[in-house]
Structure 1
Amino acid sequence: MSNGPVGVALVGAGVISGQYLRNLSAFPDVRVLGLADLDTERAAEVAREHDVPVSGDLAAVLAVPEVEIVVNLTVPSAHAAVALECLRAGKHVYGEKPLAMNMDEAAKVMAQAEEHGLRVGGAPDTFLGAGLQSALHALRSGLIGEPVAVTAATQSLGPESWHPSPEFFYQPGGGPLFDLGPYYLTALVSLLGPVARVAAGTRRARAQRVVGSGPKQGTVFPVDVPTHVNALLDFPGSATAAATFSFDSAVNRRMIEIIGSEGALSLPDPNTFEGPLLARGPHDADWRELPLSGTTAGRGIGVLDLARSLRAGTPHRASGELAGHVLELMSAIAESGERAEFRPVTTSVSAPEPLPEGWDPHAATLS
């Protein structure tokens, strides 16, 4: 087993890469060694900004022997193909969400990893942040009794007003379900365990959208996925959940409320790592804010947990199995919307263990 910090490379130098590069560069247990992109000039420019020593195409960073984990930040349609190439090169893979475009692709990725004795991790890692980790501790302490029901919603008018290239949000692998659903569904599975079956209704409000900012402002593009999804989720032996995912709503809302037999929890936005986390008992006049414990370091803590787990020989939390279960949930929700029937969920996964008390991304633990 290797020792010391874990070498990491990133594939995809788009908007999200800046957050990963800033955070991973600040974690002493990983070393960012490479950055790849189809646009090698952009890769070189971003690499210079963040003092990354190697840039170029995917082959260039896979050739760096010290790279052990590749962080896959490509567009959803490329997630599986890039992951497979990295695994064939002997690298562990941590991918942005979704894990793949469909379950067949995901199965190939997981089979390739098993064949080569490698690990797969998957975003989102927001469930490892202080807000949702504190919610997990509150649930396990029995603060609200037994979970009974969940209401979750993410509603907006869509990303085209601010994103300079929003087209991929409205292509297969996107839409509010596949773009934002992973944050909500991963949070719920991490808190309540796996889902057994789902039902849904889906709609598309408009066949076209318009880019609202940047050099392509005013450009009209097609909408190829549902933009409003209402879903029901059945957690066996636990709660039922009603979830709304919408790019058609004038109301801007991000919420998860878990109702228990002895009260309720109002969770923070699961696309963040912070609070507030609120609780209310059946006789309380109002919500009260709970103290948080844990990290708010941001995107990349799932990669760090994978790196530390590699060295320790322990399971990592933002796993391919968790990401695969969430992918099947989203796929089953989409199928239910098309077929107007309940759909079973065949995969299962254990809820990840909480991060240990005092887990600090900025403290060196690997020597």
Structure 2
Amino acid sequence: MGQPLIPGTAITVGIIGCGAISAQYLASFRRLPNVRLAAVADLDPSRAQAVADSCDGVRALAVDDLLDDPAVGLVLNLTIPAAHADIALRAIAAGKSVYGEKPLAASTKEAREVLDAAKAAGVAVGCAPDTVLGTGIQTARKAIDDGLIGTPIAATAVMATPGHERWHPNPDFYYQPGGGPLLDMGPYYVSALVTLLGPVVSVTGAASRTRKQRTIGSGPRTGETVPVQVDSHVAGTLTHAGGAISTLVMSFDAVRTKSPNLEIHGERGSLVVPDPNRFDGDVELFALGAADWEVLPVSAGYAGAGRGIGIADLASTPPGTEPRAGGELAFHVLDVMESLLEAARTGTATDVRSTVARPAPVPLTPARPEDGTDGLSRA
């Protein structure tokens, strides 16, 4: 069994999956006083041992041993998307809370099993991306909530890259079920859109794949090819419950774009929102009647945050309260993306069956203040 989550106390974390993304979490954990890393595990024991050797007091364990370890209160699931649900369910069965990399699972069916199991066990579920808790998205949200653009009307979200195989030494999972530009990068953009504009009620979409295989461009496997099993260019429209309509383009085929990552348009102004794959960045406002864009002062969000702030926020969340980077938000985001792919396959508009409340806003809060408190807002 694991530890209960008690707001105001440190949560002890065990990581399963010590791939490239784990380094970003490790860097954050060193700055978060209410998160303590106790153990790591990986199917490749040498990778787990390398992480343990770089962190004082951290043990390298086999996956089963980490899941059985009573000192571990929360499992950080950094496995490939196809394994997200399996590891989460095993951790929940061991009485532990779970925080996973996106997406929550490879399908909404698996994701619902995770959430139902967690509810029955009385443990918490959180999920990346927690970038929406940073000053970039939260400052934009405050601008919208404060009425600076009036009633939101529309949004655009664009991500274009020729593919992660150009830089990632083991890119196979990006082109397997649970991957692709929508399920890999889409969670950043859809989570931001839901945070800014509220839940999505219906979608339309189109999708394509231009190549049957990709060539690895770095690392020891340079020159190897991997098969493409998913659509590599996805476009769609998202109708939000509040009436705003978002246009989404996610591509592993296009080379580059000069479009802003996110733009939000209202009856009284437009916002340029920073990259949702980052925690910070300038929010720009062009108000109706203004002469030029104005950079808004940072006014909300965890300042100086990095990957893992969602775990710290979860650990500070009162029992029975959904975490800001919680499982219900991640489920809705996955449902939106799955519905978009279904709409692309059928050529018809598709209703999104789930809904979710907008997470509570984050007041401007240092991720780790100078006074020695945990720095996390419980407002």
TM-score interval (norm. to shorter): over 0.9
**Paired residues for 1:1-367 under 5 Å:** 2=6, 4-252=9-257, 255-293=261-299, 294=301, 295-309=303-317, 314-361=321-368, 363-365=372-374
1:52–1:16 Cα change, 3 Å: farther
1:364–1:314 Cα change, 3 Å: farther
CA distance in 2, matches of 1:52, 1:99: 29
CA distance in 1, matches of 2:149, 2:273: 13
CA distance in 2, matches of 1:337, 1:152: 17
CA contact (8 A) 1:7 1:68 kept: yes
Show CA shifts across 1:122-144 (max 9, x none). Answer: 10000000100101110010001
Give the stretch that moved more between structures: 217-226 or 312-321: 312-321
CA distance in 2, matches of 1:117, 1:90: 8
Letter aligned with residue 8 of structure 1: V
1:252–1:218 Cα change, 3 Å: farther
CA distance in 1, matches of 2:254, 2:117: 40
Identity %, equivalent residues? 45
Shift of 1:300: 0.4
Letter aligned with residue 344 of structure 2: G
Letter aligned with residue 123 of structure 1: A
State the TM-score, normalizing by the size of structure 1: 0.96
CA contact (8 A) 2:367 2:374 kept: no
State the TM-score, normalizing by the size of structure 2: 0.93
Show CA shifts across 1:256-277 (max 9, x none). Answer: 1100000100000000001111
Shift of 1:250: 1.9
CA contact (8 A) 2:157 2:248 kept: yes
Shift of 1:22: 1.3
CA contact (8 A) 1:22 1:50 kept: no
CA distance in 1, matches of 2:373, 2:67: 25
SS where residue 93 of structure 1 aligns?
strand
RMSD: 1.6
CA distance in 2, matches of 1:53, 1:317: 28
Shift of 1:220: 1.4
CA contact (8 A) 1:162 1:212 kept: yes
Shift of 1:231: 0.5
Show CA shifts across 1:240-290 (max 9, x none). Answer: 011100011122455111000001000000000011111101222321111
Give the stretch that moved more between structures: 295-304 or 265-274: 295-304
CA contact (8 A) 1:121 1:306 kept: yes
Aligned length: 365
Gaps of 5+ in 2: none
1:110–1:314 Cα change, 3 Å: closer
SS where residue 26 of structure 1 aligns?
coil
CA contact (8 A) 2:77 2:88 kept: yes
CA distance in 2, matches of 1:24, 1:177: 28
CA contact (8 A) 2:13 2:39 kept: yes
CA distance in 2, matches of 1:52, 1:109: 30
CA contact (8 A) 1:146 1:261 kept: yes
Shift of 1:218: 0.7
SS where residue 264 of structure 1 aligns?
strand
CA contact (8 A) 1:35 1:52 kept: no
Shift of 1:44: 1.0
SS where residue 234 of structure 1 aligns?
strand
Shift of 1:313: 6.0
Shift of 1:107: 1.1
CA contact (8 A) 1:54 1:61 kept: no
